[in-house]
Structure 1
Amino acid sequence: MSERGSPAVSLLCWFVCLAPSLVFSITVNTPAELHASKGDVVTLSCTFSSKDRPTSKMTVDWSYRPQSGGPPQTFFHFSSQTFPPPDGQFMGRIRWLGSPARGDVSISLINATLNDNGTYTCAVRNPPDVHGSPTSHIRLTVTPKRPSIRFSDVAVLIAFILLPSAIVTLILIGRMLCPKKQYSESKGYRSPIEVTEGEEYGIHPPRAQVQKATCCNLYLMDSDDEYEYYNRKKTLPLDEHYAESKC
């Protein structure tokens, strides 16, 4: 008798042990870690699955434990309606994103700060489904925001550094490409007063021998050449055969 009853007793024990896990099996899921920059809007995602449809008895609690340690503190509660934090560091910075009918009880943290580093716990209860894994944890790490280059900074950089450098480069290239006008004292123009034998006073060198100064000569000539050019300009007579170079 006892031998026949022993398998039945064992089966009954297994059924009693497994019954709660088969009937009550709520599960809450969140990401293990989140990383954000200072000033970001952080979505604290939390979903759940339950054998029972959510009712007005379903509750959601979000709690926070600082990175420095200490007991967790509940800062957000949901039970048919939302109850945001009335004070503290999260006041005015929590937004409800959840949809219990879809198994979503997420929230968002606005304007994240370095003081928000820590562990966030999402706890869901949906009676009578209250067993299983009703809580899940998120570890949030907020870091300083990386500096970014703005368009105004780039414009200032171009205006004060690159543009002058480009102008200087063009001037140097122009000096190398434009031939220098070489002057020699032996080929310099003589004063109208100097008259040699066989020459008449007032007769100037032929037009073919007079080389007009070009823009390239004027603006890219060396300082010595420039001085000599303007010195000759003062001594040359102005008549109908002489025309000053105009750029």
Structure 2
Amino acid sequence: MCKMRRLCRSRSALDVLVLLCWAVCLAPSPVFSISVNTPAELHASKGDTVTLSCTFTSTKTPTSKMSVDWSYRPQTGGPPLTFFHFSSRAFLPNEGQFNGRIQWRGSPARGDVSVALINATLTDNGTYTCSVRNPPDVHGSPNSHTVLTVTPKAPSIRFSDVAVLLAFILLPSAVITLILIGRMLCPKKHYNQSRAHRSPIEVTEGEEYAMNPPVKRATCCDLYFMDSEDEDEYYDLKKRPSVEEGFAESRC
């Protein structure tokens, strides 16, 4: 009877041990997660170098098993195209749309897996996806998307263009404007058409003893210069103006 009891107890203990082993083997392993982040949108002009930024956080230090993939889906739609892969080293595209236009700028030890797109074109518009795997961190949010919009570059005015514009357009216009202003302020003098043109050696009656040739009527734009010796004669003439001697006073 005692032997039977001992045998039952040993079998019960064995059954419990087997159940514990099964429980340990079937229990789920610890879950590790990774988080990948990229900007939602990026804007660039045609010909620019665009940095496709991507960072990640992981509970495990990056090892040689870590991998990074960048893929592109055109704005017009279609399947995504993987154009960059990193696993211990960077594998750049050697054909297709991004051949020779991708640079690796990441530092996995710092959680940075960014790449640069050189000489952006309008055909580069679309969605770019950054995927990071760092076993055992394979859960969480290993992917992140960013939308790139490339627009034509706005025309810029260079200094040489401004100089040409000033030389060929503004300066001639300024000269013409000054000439017109001068003509308006000092109008052309009109000669008395009632007097016939006469030769300088022609002498008419009453002019044999004229000391000075006939002069035209003075205007506001005429300036008279005289020596101090002539001032007395000028003031005498001013008191007794003589038309026959050809003097005329300005009415400015």
- Report the TM-score when normalising by structure 2: 0.68
The reply on whether 1:87 has 2:90 as its aligned counterpart is no
1:228 corresponds in structure 2 to none
Distance 1:171 1:203 in 2: 38
Distance 1:106 1:41 in 2: 13
**Equivalent of 1:74, from 70, 82, 86?**
82
Q: How far is 1:188 from its partner?
A: 7.1
Q: CA RMSD in A?
A: 2.7
Distance 2:197 2:57 in 1: 104
**Equivalent of 2:183, from 164, 167, 175?**
175
Task: Kindly provide the amino acid, as one letter, of the partner of residue 125 in structure 1.
Answer: R
Assess if the C-alpha contact under 8 Å between 1:54 and 1:101 holds in 2.
Answer: yes
Q: For structure 2, which runs of at least 5 residues remain unmatched after alignment?
A: 1-26, 223-252
SS of 2:150's equivalent in the other structure is: strand
Q: How far is 1:153 from its partner?
A: 2.6
Distance 1:185 1:70 in 2: 91
Mean CA deviation greater in 183-192 or 30-39: 183-192
The reply on whether 1:39 has 2:44 as its aligned counterpart is no
Q: How far is 1:175 from its partner?
A: 0.8
1:189-217 Cα offsets, whole Å, 9 max, x none, are 742343233433895428xx5799xxx99
**Equivalent of 1:205, from 204, 213, 224?**
213
More helix by share: 1
Assess if the C-alpha contact under 8 Å between 1:37 and 1:142 holds in 2.
Answer: yes
Structure with larger Rg? 2
Q: For structure 1, which runs of at least 5 residues remain unmatched after alignment?
A: 1-15, 218-247
Distance 1:180 1:147 in 2: 48
1:103 corresponds in structure 2 to 111
Assess if the C-alpha contact under 8 Å between 1:192 and 1:201 holds in 2.
Answer: no
Q: Pick closer, same or farther for the CA change 1:189–1:37 going to 2, 3 Å.
A: same
Distance 1:54 1:210 in 2: 104
Moved over 6 A (4+): none
Task: Count residues in correspondence.
Answer: 194
- Report the TM-score when normalising by structure 1: 0.70
SS of 2:154's equivalent in the other structure is: coil
2:24 corresponds in structure 1 to none
1:127-176 Cα offsets, whole Å, 9 max, x none, are 11121101101111122222222333322322222122111101001112
Assess if the C-alpha contact under 8 Å between 2:191 and 2:216 holds in 1.
Answer: no
**Equivalent of 1:116, from 124, 141, 145?**
124
Task: Kindly provide the amino acid, as one letter, of the partner of residue 182 in structure 1.
Answer: H
